[in-house]
Amino acid sequence: MIRSLYSAASGQAIPSTIGRYASAVTDYERSKNEITNYIGPNQINIPYVVDAQVASYLDQMVIAANTFKADHEKGYDTEYGNDMDEKGYIIGIELTLDHERFIELVKNQAFTVIRTEWRNREYHLVTFDYLEKVFKPENVIYKLTDNEDAFVIVQLEEPEKLGYYYTDSEDRRPIALFKALISARDDIYPLEYLLKPEFHLVKNTSLTFIDNNISCEVDTLQFWNDLSEKHRERIINNVYCENCSDTVTIVDCTIYNDPYGVLLRGKCKNCGKRVARVVERD
C-alpha cells in the first residue's frame, strides 16, 4: 500500500502546530518520497475548471447534522486520525492507495479543483478521486464548522473491507475515506495552493507492535531496543506539542527509521493533536 499526503496551506488561519509538525517530518517524508521516479514534474498538475452542474450532484448527498470534528470517533473513524485546527478546519489529508492506483490518479488528473456555486455561495471543490467516485449519492457531506464555509465529502466504508477489525463490537464504526474538500475560505485554502499541493508518495514498511501504544519499523527495532528502558520512557514522555505549548507524552506512536536516527510520530496525550520527535543517533 501507498500512503499519500495532501497537506493544507499554511495561511494565517492555520495554527503554528502544523508548521512544527511538518518541519519535524520533512526529512523523513522527502527521503522516502518516490513520486518523481514515476511521474515527471510536468505531469504533477492539478486542473482548474468551472462547473455549475456540481451543485446538483452535491444536493443528492446527505449533509450530516454534526460537524466533522464532532462526529469523529462517534459516527466514524479515520485511518490516520484527523489533522484539524482548534476550530475544526482540515489542515492535512492522508489517503491510503495502492501504488499503481495513486500513480494512475495523478497521471489522469483525478485531483482537480472545480469552481462552482452551491447554496447561493461560490466554492472551490478539490477532488481526491475520479468524479464518479466523488459524487456518489451515498457519500456524506460534513461541514467543518457551524459557519458552513468549508465541507468534506467522505465515503463511509465498512472497516472490515479495509482490513480493520474491532474487538468490541460497540466500538465498531465506518471508516471515513476523503473524496473531496469544499471551501469558500480562500484565506485558509487559497486557490494557488490548492493547485500546487504537496504530494508525498511513501511506501509502507513492515511494522512490529511493541505494546498497545507503540509500533516500530522492523529495521528500527534494534536501535530502539538498545536504548535503556529509562531512556525510552524519557523520550516518550518528552515530546513537544505546539498546541499545548508544553512537553507532553506521545501516544499512538509509530517509530520510523530516519537519516539522523529515529522519528517518532503520534498524538499528544493531552489534546490529541499530531506530534513528532527525532531522536538522533550518538
Domain ranges of the chain: 2-202, 206-280
How far apart are the C-alpha atoms of 282 and 279, rounded to whole Å? Answer: 9
Q: Which amino acid is at 251?
A: V
Do 182 and 135 touch, CB atoms closer than 8 A? no
Compute φ and ψ for 222, nearest 5 degrees.
-60, -45
Global pTM? 0.66
Do 101 and 130 touch, CB atoms closer than 8 A? no
pLDDT value, residue 220: 86
Q: Quote the DSSP letter at residue 257.
A: E
Q: Quote the DSSP letter at residue 42.
A: G
The rounded Cα 166 to chain-centroid distance in angstroms is 22
Q: Which three cell numbers stand for residue 48?
A: 482548474
Helix (H) or strand (E) holding 232: helix 229-236
No. of helices (H) and no. of strands (E), the chain = 8, 18
Per-residue pLDDT for the chain (282 aa), expressed as one digit of tens each? 334 444 444 332 222 222 222 333 333 343 344 566 666 666 677 899 999 999 999 999 999 999 999 998 889 988 766 678 889 998 777 676 666 777 788 788 888 999 999 999 999 999 999 999 999 999 999 999 999 999 999 999 998 887 777 777 777 889 899 999 999 999 999 998 888 766 655 555 566 777 767 888 888 888 888 999 999 999 999 999 888 889 999 988 888 887 778 888 888 899 878 788 988 876
How many CB atoms within 10 Å of residue 35?
Answer: 18
pLDDT value, residue 165: 74
Task: Give the sheet arrangement for strand 207-209, strand by strand.
Answer: 207-209, 214-217, 250-258, 261-268, 274-280
Cα-Cα-Cα-Cα dihedral sign, residues 47, 50, 53, 57: positive
Cβ neighbours for 52, distance < 8 A, ≥ 6 positions apart:
116, 117
pLDDT value, residue 217: 80
pLDDT value, residue 170: 79
pLDDT value, residue 80: 63
How far apart are the C-alpha atoms of 182 and 145, rounded to whole Å? Answer: 12
CA angle 175, 180, 185 (to 5 degrees): 120
